[in-house]
Amino acid sequence: MDCRSYSILCKPAGASCNIKCDYCFYLDKKELLNQPAASVMSERVLERFISQYLMINTLNEVEFVWQGGEPMLCGLEFYKMVVLLQKKYGSGRKILNILQTNGTLLTDSWCEFLAENKFLVGISIDGPEDIHNTFRCNRDGNGTFSKVMQGIDLLKKHRIPYNTLTVLNSENVTRIEEVYSFLKEIGTGYMQFIPMVERMPAIYEEELGMTWSEPPGSLGYSGKKIMSPISITPKQFGDFYIGVFEKWRKDDVGKQAVQFFEATLGMHLGKPPGLCYFERVCGHAGALEYNGDLYSCDHFVYPKYLLGNIFDMPLWNLMEKNRDFGISKALELPKKCLDCEVGHLCNGGCIKHRFCMTEDGEKGLNYLCEGYYAFFTHTAEYFQEMQQSILQGHKPADTDTGSV
């Protein structure tokens, strides 16, 4: 075994969740994968995963990411077992646990455990109350904002590090200043944004009487699928990040971390971006379901992309099977991307979003291409100045932004 490092998103509760967000792409997996109503990873599967995951990651520090669905549905005792097994198989290495949650199930008991075991928590929140409650509701249709804020207050009370994860959707993407200011106010200095890019199945087009035409010479969509009304447009994506960037560079460099900007700076410095969709190749970040089934990626949990089960084949061998999937990211780029002046930064973006056609009729163009291009060209001079400043031994916050 060589010294490759892998990242596995573990979904110990499968697609089970206690709320029902309108845009969640994972809830349908319960029916697709024939999951039981209450899916909880067994101790047998958990031990197999932890022991093998520590075996294939040879670094001194190993990250475990617990995601969903809602991973807290597994219960507190489950995560107590997680910690015990990590100590058993960790051989003294430093282990970091990251729990991605909607925050509505947090209690003092949970927070005492998370604080004691130094968990990092990711909280899903889409903005101020009216924005958040538009799409993030419980199963009765009521907004979850107040419960999420209660959870954040508990995290603060117990001094648990957390970051915010915000889905960019049709409701919040144009309210740039409002969303950014709110997240700064409630957060601890680190924010992430996930673009809502989902297509509707063709059957819905027929029911709604909707069609999509592809005008000559424009960015067209392959197939007969149209975008979900909750999705954002490529221009909105670019405008949002440019708007946040302008506020960030003037007031918050060195104070507020935005994952997208951190990745951009890293790429300008010639370092790994830390975001799989900006990597030249992917395939090193699988998704493990509650029953031990491993899939190519969190966004490709479909039967076609099932690599196998960790009881039928070691995790190392399963991830090696994913090489072709990862390499295809670099090999299947259209000529437009290969010739693009900022193509070395986005590297074609996430494979999941490559369903568009270029003006020349080539397939494989990323839906968000226009937005990526707008952002990377708009910020190029600033990040180049920051790059030079850092190489000269200065801190990022010392970069002179007056000429940008």
Q: Which residue has the tokens 């029916």?
A: 31
Question: What is the rounded CA–CA span in Å between residue 209 and residue 48?
Answer: 49
Task: Count Cβ atoms within 10 A of the Cβ of residue 55 and give its class: 0-12 exposed, 13-18 middle, 19 or more buried.
Answer: middle
Q: Residue 394, Cβ neighbours under 10 Å: how many?
A: 13
Q: Which residues, listed in sequence order, are joined to residue 123 by a DSSP beta bridge?
A: 101, 164
Give the residue numbers marked as catalytic.
Answer: 298
Range 265-292 burial, b when 16+ CB lie within 10 A, else e: bbbbeeeebebbbbbeebbbbbbbbbbb
CA 262 to centroid of chain Cα atoms: 14
Instruction: Sort strands 226-227 and 199-200 into parallel, antiparallel or unpaired.
Output: antiparallel
Q: Is the peptide bond preceding residue 69 cis, with omega within 30 degrees of 0? A: yes
Question: How large is the C-alpha radius of gyration of the chain?
Answer: 21
